[in-house]
Chain A
Amino acid sequence: MLVEYYPILLFIVVGLLVGAAPMVLSWIGSLILGTHRPDDAKLSPYECGFEAFDEARMKFDVRYYLVAILFILFDLEIAFLFPWAVALKEIGFAGFLAMMVFLAILVVGFIYEWRKGALDWE
């Protein structure tokens, strides 16, 4: 059973290596070829040619945070829907009805968010 997942584990490791190898090789290559020539201006954060005005770790709009929270709610809902959808043909009408009740409760929440303006970006 778990043996089937061994190629996936290998693929993830290979994926990390395929990502890391070109960077390491390129870094070594640039040291050998002498293209690695950092200076103060080059290493400063880009800000259209000006000196950076203030810290980049600044305040940001709370809406981004709100979207992240809403995402967690809905993604959990999807996680619940996945096994239900796979088993739908076996669990019959009762199973279908149970999930519709669950969805109805969530839709009430969705409408509440919408009316409260949590989904607006104006």
Chain B
Amino acid sequence: MTDWLLSAAQGTFGQVWGPVVYQTVLNLVLIVAIIVPLMLGVAYLTLWERKLIGWMQIRIGPNRVGPGGLLQPVADGLKLFLKEIILPAKANKGLYVLAPVMALMPALAAWAVIPFAPDVVLADVNAGLLYLLALTSLGVYGVIIAGWASNSKYAFLGAMRSAAQMVSYELAMGFALVVVLMVSGSLNLSDIVEGQGKGRFAAMGWTLLSWNWLPLLPMLVVYFISGVAETNRAPFDVVEGESEIVAGHMIEYSGMSFALFFLAEYMNMWLIAALTVLMFFGGWQAPVAVAPFTWLPPIGWLLIKMFFVVSLFLWIRATFPRYRYDQIMRLGWKIFIPVTLVWIVVVGVWMQTPWSIW
């Protein structure tokens, strides 16, 4: 099938351009196959968030649009699409329009290196994690550009806060990644997942206990909480802080331009969930290697785990009140960074001893 397509492309576009066209079309199809389920996941995450938080607060949540509220995301999307896009008179127009796109692009493009099952990955590059670190750093530009270009005080304050907060937690996240790299010895996410399926417990069938979450437990906590702070979710949502700086950097945005920020935020939540699962919870591996657990295909396990991690985000939002800004900065700089630095040394020493399990 694919051979036939390749030769057809060569026949039409010549020996030189044929393979290029073939590669482009093939990859575009694969990219669409990633983006469409991702968009659906984002849309229904918004509904799941409202439902779950509703249940936690003994409410029903949205239930009017469609059976059980299932068409609510469609209604929301349509409404946002039909709203007017406002270009404030004092805004820097070009940057103002660029900002939502800059927020969304890294959240989307990061999925290029995420493996969904063994060998099911768009770009199996050997520097996958480095690429992810670079792209998640780019995410902060969308927020800063939005805050600056809006030329509004609230937006400016929001951008300042987000810049400082996101870069601070980026550090804790980076150090946590270093520890994962030390034990797996590879930047390729598929290798990191495979590496977690080896060891004494995995040989006994208890794959669950061989995953990184157990020996790297402090790093898991640091990584996940930093992920919550990176995506500006509650309780670290002072960037938006609707009760004090009324949505921060997004204040001047409306309709579709606002929806893009919203999409980017939820897409980042899925991304953090995917990365947490891939690096700490064995990715697509079944927790126990015995019959009923191995029936589910690998991607099924990955999605179930991602769903649990994403639900954890919502649970945290429903549980904790918002942090004060100085508390956020203290947590990032004075607790997480020292903890990760110590754990780098601990794991480093552990790996030099005869008791190294890696």
Interface on A for B, CB 8 Å cutoff? 4-8, 10-12, 14-16, 18-20, 22-23, 25-27, 29-30, 33, 35-38, 40, 42-47, 52, 56-58, 60-61, 63-64, 67-68, 71, 74-75, 78, 81-82, 85-89, 93, 96, 99-100, 103, 107, 110, 114, 119-122
- Chain A residue nearest to B153 in the complex (CB): A56
Chain B residues 168 to 200 lying within 8 A of chain A, measured CB to CB, are 168, 170-171, 174-175, 177-179, 181-182, 185-187
List A contacts of B171 (CB < 8 A): 71, 74-75, 78
- Chain A residue nearest to B35 in the complex (CB): A18
- Distance in angstroms between the alpha carbons of A100 and B85 in the assembled complex: 53
Tell me whether B104 and A11 are in contact (CB under 8 A): no
List A contacts of B106 (CB < 8 A): 15
Tell me whether B164 and A82 are in contact (CB under 8 A): no
- Of B122, B156, B174, B348, which one neighbours A78 at CB under 8 angstroms? B174
Tell me whether B337 and A110 are in contact (CB under 8 A): yes
List A contacts of B103 (CB < 8 A): 19
Proximity bits, B250-275, A CB within 8 Å = 1, else 0: 01100111011000000000000000
- Distance in angstroms between the alpha carbons of A23 and B101 in the assembled complex: 9
Given contacts A22-B259, A23-B257, contact A46 B154 (CB under 8 A): yes
- Chain A residue nearest to B100 in the complex (CB): A19
Given contacts A8-B112, A22-B81, contact A68 B164 (CB under 8 A): yes
Interface residue? B31 (CB, 8 A): yes
Tell me whether B153 and A15 are in contact (CB under 8 A): no
**20 extra interchain contacts, Cβ-Cβ under 8 A, other than A46-B251, A85-B182?**
A7-B30, A8-B123, A15-B108, A22-B81, A22-B259, A23-B85, A26-B82, A26-B85, A27-B256, A30-B85, A36-B84, A43-B89, A44-B89, A46-B246, A56-B151, A60-B156, A60-B160, A61-B160, A100-B345, A121-B330
Chain B residues 83 to 124 lying within 8 A of chain A, measured CB to CB, are 83-90, 97, 100-109, 111-113, 122-124
| 5 interchain pairs, CB-CB under 8 A | A26-B82, A30-B84, A58-B153, A81-B344, A96-B352
